Chains A and B, each alone.
Chain A
Amino acid sequence: MAERPILLAAGMAALAIAAFAGATQILDTYSMNVLVRSLLYAMVALTVDILWGYLGILTFGQSTFFGIGAYAAGLVFMHVGFSPGTAVLALAAGIAIAVLVAAVVAWLAFWHGASELYASVITLVLPIVATQVIFSGGTWTGSSSGLSGFETFDLSIEAWFVLAGSLLAVATAAAWVVMASDAGRLIVAIRENEQRCKYLGIGTARLKSIAFLVSAALAAVAGYVFAGYAAVVAPELVGFVFGTELVIWVALGGRGTLLGPVIGTVLVDYESAQLSGDYPFVWKLIIGLVFVAVIVALPRGFLPILGDGLKRLGRWVGLGGKTTARTATLVTAARRTVATASDGPAIRIRGVAKHFGSLPVLRGIDFEARAGELVSLVGPNGAGKTTLMRCIADGSERSGGTIEIGGVSIGRLPPERCVALGIGRKFQMANVFDSLTVAECLQIARTRIDRPSLVRRSTELALPGPAARVVATTGLDQRLATPARLLSHGQKQALELAMVLALEPKVLLLDEPTAGLSKAERMLIGGILTDLATQERLCILLVEHDLDFVREISSRVVVLHQGRLVLDGTVEEVVGSETVKQIYAGAGHHGAPAEAAR
């Protein structure tokens, strides 16, 4: 079962194209001339919006891809000549080169550990480099004056206008379909909490790169049409100033909306053409002032403000402006047959060490745990418990030693690949997607198993048994349509647990799942965890400060102290241990009894 927004989108696009065709009867030639450019710019602005507004990648470089498309047309038509064959060739070349350049940029900008700022920096370097490349092309690229006077498509201004409008309408409708689909929800999730996505097994760097490549191709198409229409290409099209203008238009219209940037670009660019003849500098000054004001005071841009106003007006005049997005209904996922690798330990840790510079935090940690065991890691502050969790969930964290999950070494794998091996990590502070609903958060968690569709929004939420049980026992099944930020702290913790269980992990890592919970909530979570171990045969590693809680639910306890494993035994052994008493009473600080116990 899935909704099909694609028909609606196709209808809207057709309507918009008809409107553009109708507008040719009303508009004068001059206006249409200006608007063709504005509409194509709006198409590029749309790609900036997808990258920045939806994915969170602030890019200054979309101008370059537009310019690549334009120069592909200009260069081919100028030097090879114009024919239907070369026209197709130029388009294909423009898209191919844009995608190739985008691939290089993506390789530079998106890698495990790259910061948002770094990605922006790379997109800033791109147009600067591209401009210089064109300058150094001499007469072949026309250097600073560009190329003009080449033969191109012989179309009327009305035809160009309808073509540009149609392209924009189709691109916007397609973007709407994708954003309304499962993939669109995933894009929002990546922007909101990329780290959580990685630990849900989602290769965010790859998805960002794909979005970047598609955006580059779209911008190149717009640039190609622009060159065909204007019969002029200039280095400014490739440059950094145009790149920032695109960002300004998107910001004014409303990042993270689709119509906002489109309307913003068309209005500002069209008005610029009208006004900059008379007051060129005042106009730019006003744009600058408004832009700064919008960034500081209205970061969402103008369209959402307008939308809110209309909704309020609608309510005021009694028109029910209720838009009810349908929430997925719960179903049980088919049990996947998991190849259980013999009856070896679920997790095996050998000689794991971690140091920050010269400061050791973990030294020679060895232990194993089997399916069905609930092992608690305890120890005073600074014992290295959370660090050990990090080392298990991210292959690049540890400084030495090996970690195997179900007999397979995690090597240096990034978190999303560790998830594929069967690791599920729940963070200390509840780490969910605040702006998504409970159902959507859980759907994101299923991304690795249920491939998201690009055109549909699924109406079913298929959860495996353990996750479904957590959702049912904590009452989350009654709140599937509630945005996660409105949940209580305890419910958020439960939601994150359910999300991790939705990954169908073999080894569950829980970092203080009861921190900040009430006594009743703590008991509930404790019951769920013991059930997961005994009935679902999960291997659970639990970091916990609340020793009463540990005593109630653990099948085994591992004591860490100052980065070393001090004791590994049953609850009774640990409770009865003098060493542990001394560690907790503070007398074991100089470490002698801890050494003696080994």
Chain B
Amino acid sequence: MTPALHIDAISAGYGEAVVLREIALTVAPGEILAVLGKNGTGKSTLLKSIMGYLPKLAGRIAIGGADVTREAPHRIARRGVAYVAQEKSLFQDLSVEENIRLALASDRDWPKARAAVERSFPFLLERIRQRAGTLSGGEQKMLLMARSLAADPKLLLVDEITEGLQPSVIERLGGVLRAERGRSAAGILLVEQHIPFALAVADRFVVMDRGEIVDAGAAGAPGAAAEIARHLSL
């Protein structure tokens, strides 16, 4: 089966500062891969490189079998990639509906998107005309998740969606991610610092340190949490 995402020895960075060193990983359709690691180890940079925001110094990235190493972000998005950035990822001054519509290829897809929102976060439909900036922090994260699922993505890139959230909201987001994996064949790459959440949701994990992958394993394996904690401790 063609992998949803295949990364072949990618190196990337800002100017001459190399942040990623020969990263290689694969996400199969219907699989959730958690990327763990301390702050500043290159996890967010990895997602930005996949989305085409950063030029690659070396290596190759394929999405659904197509080489996208040199493609622009909007072309990659149109291949069915939804990217949930960590910061400034909503249009605060636009309404809930407008935020979701922007992720669709055409307004004709709106009924389908509406159904997807109804499935995951029905409360958003009651507040469809509200400005996104007036939602609470947790609600904004749910809108982000709803928007990224609305276009029925083939690959979902999520950057620390749990940061600063209440446990109940985190649980709800986890439930939606698991349901989505069961329903569609989307591959999901989940960058996280919240280890319990990541291990509960993901199938596999990798640990990054200083721009390299230093560990990998099955999320359900006994002792996975302890192994990861060892990497993250001071």
Whole-angstrom CA separation of A177 from B167 in the bound complex: 68
A492 contacts the other chain (Cβ, under 8 Å)?
yes
Whole-angstrom CA separation of A202 from B144 in the bound complex: 45
Please tell me if the beta carbons of B164 and A562 are within 8 angstroms of each other in the complex.
Answer: yes
Q: Residue B39 contacts which of A430, A545, A548, A590 (CB distance < 8 angstroms)?
A: A545
| Chain B residues within 8 Å of A545, by CB | 38-41
Please tell me if the beta carbons of A587 and B165 are within 8 angstroms of each other in the complex.
Answer: no
Q: How far is the CB of B36 from chain A (nearest CB, A)?
A: 10
Which secondary structure dominates chain B's binding surface? loop
Q: How far is the CB of B197 from chain A (nearest CB, A)?
A: 7
Q: Mark A541-555, 1 if CB is under 8 A from B, else 0.
A: 000011110110000
| Chain A residues within 8 Å of B194, by CB | 585-587, 589
Whole-angstrom CA separation of A9 from B203 in the bound complex: 74
A512 contacts the other chain (Cβ, under 8 Å)?
yes
Whole-angstrom CA separation of A584 from B15 in the bound complex: 29
Whole-angstrom CA separation of A430 from B17 in the bound complex: 9
Please tell me if the beta carbons of A586 and B192 are within 8 angstroms of each other in the complex.
Answer: yes
Which secondary structure dominates chain A's binding surface? helix
B89 contacts the other chain (Cβ, under 8 Å)?
no
Smallest Cβ-Cβ distance to A488: which chain B residue:
B16
Please tell me if the beta carbons of B193 and A380 are within 8 angstroms of each other in the complex.
Answer: yes
Q: How far is the CB of B44 from chain A (nearest CB, A)?
A: 9
Interface positions of A from 519 to 573, Cβ below 8 Å from B = 519, 545-548, 550-551, 562
Which of these binds chain A: B1-9, B67-75, B103-111, B226-234? B226-234
A575 contacts the other chain (Cβ, under 8 Å)?
yes
Please tell me if the beta carbons of B18 and A381 are within 8 angstroms of each other in the complex.
Answer: no
Please tell me if the beta carbons of B163 and A516 are within 8 angstroms of each other in the complex.
Answer: no
Interface positions of B from 96 to 140, Cβ below 8 Å from A = none
Q: Mark B1-45, 1 if CB is under 8 A from A, else 0.
A: 000000000000111111100000000000000000011110000
Please tell me if the beta carbons of A585 and B39 are within 8 angstroms of each other in the complex.
Answer: no
B195 contacts the other chain (Cβ, under 8 Å)?
yes
| Chain A residues within 8 Å of B196, by CB | 586-587
Please tell me if the beta carbons of A581 and B163 are within 8 angstroms of each other in the complex.
Answer: no
Cβ-Cβ contact count across A and B, 8 Å cutoff: 74
Whole-angstrom CA separation of A401 from B40 in the bound complex: 30
A137 contacts the other chain (Cβ, under 8 Å)?
no
B162 contacts the other chain (Cβ, under 8 Å)?
yes
Q: Which of the four size classes fits the interface of chain B?
A: 20 to 34
B86 contacts the other chain (Cβ, under 8 Å)?
yes
Q: How far is the CB of B89 from chain A (nearest CB, A)?
A: 14
- Once A515-B17, A516-B19, A586-B193 are accepted as A-B contacts, the answer to whether A546 and B229 lie under 8 Å apart by CB is no
Please tell me if the beta carbons of B39 and A381 are within 8 angstroms of each other in the complex.
Answer: yes
Q: Mark A321-353, 1 if CB is under 8 A from B, else 0.
A: 000000000000000000000000000000000
Q: How far is the CB of B21 from chain A (nearest CB, A)?
A: 10
Please tell me if the beta carbons of B167 and A590 are within 8 angstroms of each other in the complex.
Answer: yes
Smallest Cβ-Cβ distance to B233: which chain A residue:
A581
| Chain A residues within 8 Å of B233, by CB | 581, 584
Whole-angstrom CA separation of A574 from B233 in the bound complex: 11
Please tell me if the beta carbons of A586 and B162 are within 8 angstroms of each other in the complex.
Answer: yes
Q: Residue A492 contacts which of B16, B170, B229 (CB distance < 8 angstroms)?
A: B16
Please tell me if the beta carbons of B234 and A574 are within 8 angstroms of each other in the complex.
Answer: yes
Q: How far is the CB of A357 from chain B (nearest CB, A)?
A: 11
A489 contacts the other chain (Cβ, under 8 Å)?
yes
Whole-angstrom CA separation of A405 from B68 in the bound complex: 52
Whole-angstrom CA separation of A488 from B13 in the bound complex: 13
- Once A545-B40, A551-B234, A580-B234 are accepted as A-B contacts, the answer to whether A589 and B16 lie under 8 Å apart by CB is no
Please tell me if the beta carbons of A489 and B17 are within 8 angstroms of each other in the complex.
Answer: yes
Whole-angstrom CA separation of A382 from B137 in the bound complex: 14
Q: Residue A547 contacts which of B15, B197, B234 (CB distance < 8 angstroms)?
A: B234
Please tell me if the beta carbons of B40 and A489 are within 8 angstroms of each other in the complex.
Answer: no
Binding site for B on A (CB under 8 A): 380-382, 429-430, 488-489, 492, 512, 515-516, 519, 545-548, 550-551, 562, 574-575, 580-581, 584-587, 589-590
Q: List 15 A-B contacts (CB under 8 A).
A: A380-B193, A382-B163, A429-B15, A515-B17, A516-B18, A519-B210, A545-B38, A545-B41, A551-B234, A562-B164, A585-B195, A586-B192, A586-B196, A589-B164, A589-B194
Taking A430-B17, A548-B234, A589-B163 as known contacts, 13 extra A-B pairs with beta carbons closer than 8 A to each other, sorted by chain A number, are A381-B160, A489-B18, A512-B40, A516-B14, A516-B19, A545-B40, A546-B210, A584-B193, A586-B193, A586-B194, A589-B162, A590-B166, A590-B167
Binding site for A on B (CB under 8 A): 13-19, 38-41, 86-87, 160, 162-167, 170, 192-197, 210, 229, 232-234
**What 5 A-B pairs come out closest when comparing CB atoms?**
A545-B40, A516-B17, A586-B194, A489-B16, A545-B39
